[in-house]
Amino acid sequence: MNYSIQHNIFHFKNPSGTSRGVLTEKQAWFITIWNEENPSVKGIGECSIIEGLSPDYVSNERYEAAIHLFCETYCKTAEFLETIEDFPSIKFGLETALLDLKNGGNGLIFENDFSINSKKIPINGLIWMGDQAFMEDQIEQKISEGFKTIKMKVGAIDFEKEISILSSIRSRFSKDELTLRVDANGAFTKENALEKLTHLAALDIHSIEQPIQAGDWETMRKLCKDSPLNIALDEELIGVNQIEDKNKLLDTIQPPFIILKPSLHGGIYGTKEWIELAEAKGIEWWMTSALESNIGLNAICQLAAEYTTNLPQGLGTGSLYTNNIESDLCVENGFIFKKKNEPAN
């Protein structure tokens, strides 16, 4: 078995604001794997990182060295090194490439109704941080595009302005007409979080992702217990790789929801493990991309389609880049699906 690695830089169409700064470009490495006896069939996977968030990225040099080590080891032994658990984005890329190769090398990662029959997956429309006018423009665009669930990043501008934006939306659309999610990316403090959650709950917000910084399980447990607004864990799950630690986290905090990004939360297998544990405890989940290109997004969509859930997923990021990989993924009216090839006339 052979492999190759390609480094890519994807450029955002518009600068995209988060609580960790403004993103203008995104790095990813593509792993391509093939068997020597059939070199025309190749599997491709994406190792995608977010600087400052991905636990397995320090520098390009060290990251690329790790990709080579894991790929070379697997190609020689057909086994993963145990340390790959600490490199979730590389694990996801390698897992995806191997599944793609196994299934014929045409981007088929899982054979299900999404990948074969173009089943539509409901998704949320993502609103990036910025000034009030910029955020309001995005919201109007998402509503006009038919999204029934909108996710707004909060924590970048004055909280009262963010409340004003959300109040304006809610004055026009009830919670039955439009679902509102917010994502704080840990922007609140342990001292002010409950007060802010109470204000948000008054607007019939569906849920908030990661209201405080990850790592303070006791405060997060108390927030989940006392908050009038449902909390979803996201960054809290990063670096929690062993099953006993996953169980301990879920049992301690007892969140209503968890949000799963395969590139951050253990690759494909690790994500499946989180889902199995969460569902056994009555905790709901949804899946989102970590801003992958269409290569990684295709794999995450197919993974999400392996499960039955009515919750909108966070998979609407395929149009972020000016130089994304060409894909048959299509977003219309708040759903993502695979566009079927039209027969030639």
261 is catalytic: yes
Burial 221-235 (b: 16+ CB within 10 A, else e): bebbeebebbbbbbb
The residue from 42, 142, 153, 338 that is catalytic is 153
Tokens of 32: 């391509």
Distance CA 240, CA 258 (A): 13
The residue from 91, 246, 261, 338 that is catalytic is 261
Going from the C-alpha of 79 to that of each of 71, 87, 137, the distances in angstroms are 10, 15, 49
194 in Cβ contact with 187 (< 8 Å): no
8 in Cβ contact with 30 (< 8 Å): yes
112 in Cβ contact with 136 (< 8 Å): no
Beta strands 329-332; 121-122: pairing state: unpaired
175 is catalytic: no
Tokens of 255: 């969140």
Catalytic residues: 153, 261
